[in-house]
Amino acid sequence: MQEQRRHIRVTTPVMIEFPNPETMKTERSFSLNVSETGLRFPTPVRLSVGHEIPLTLALPFHNSPMHATGEILWIREISRLGAPQYEVGVRFQWIDDPDRQRLAHHLATFFPGRA
């Protein structure tokens, strides 16, 4: 099966914070991969497909956080022993243009020959 994505996914540890929909407690995770249009991350929280969540993203070596809204596209259980663990795919629904540009610039550093 050929890859259909328009944006390259980069394996980079972006810290993610989001509210647990059941408790509203802030949950933290680190991305497994990121693109200009979304990200994938592990979490012990069972999120719902189609649900929109506010995200705070902290790029490595950047001081100010980015804010976005993401839609849960898919969720997969990755651990059945002990506490449940899930992997989640999120598409950005909203991200401020300066933050989107900062994310694109950060991701471009992984591919210096591409412009």
Q: What are phi and psi of 21, to 5 degrees?
A: -60, -25
Q: Are 59 and 49 in contact (CB under 8 A)?
A: no
pLDDT, position 6: 67
By three-state DSSP, how is residue 9 classified?
coil
Task: Map out the domains of the chain with their CATH numbers.
Answer: 15-102 (2.40.10.220)
Give tens-digit pLDDT for 22-36.
Answer: 999 999 999 999 999
* Nearest in space to 36 (alpha carbons), one of 86, 99, 80: 99
Give tens-digit pLDDT for 76-93.
Answer: 999 777 888 999 999 999
pLDDT, position 1: 44
DSSP code of residue 25: P
DSSP string of 65-100, one letter each residue: -EEEEEEEEEEEEEE-SSS-EEEEEEEEEEE-HHHH
Q: Give the pLDDT means over successive 10-residue stretches in the chain (115 positions).
A: 63 94 96 95 96 95 91 92 91 94 89 60
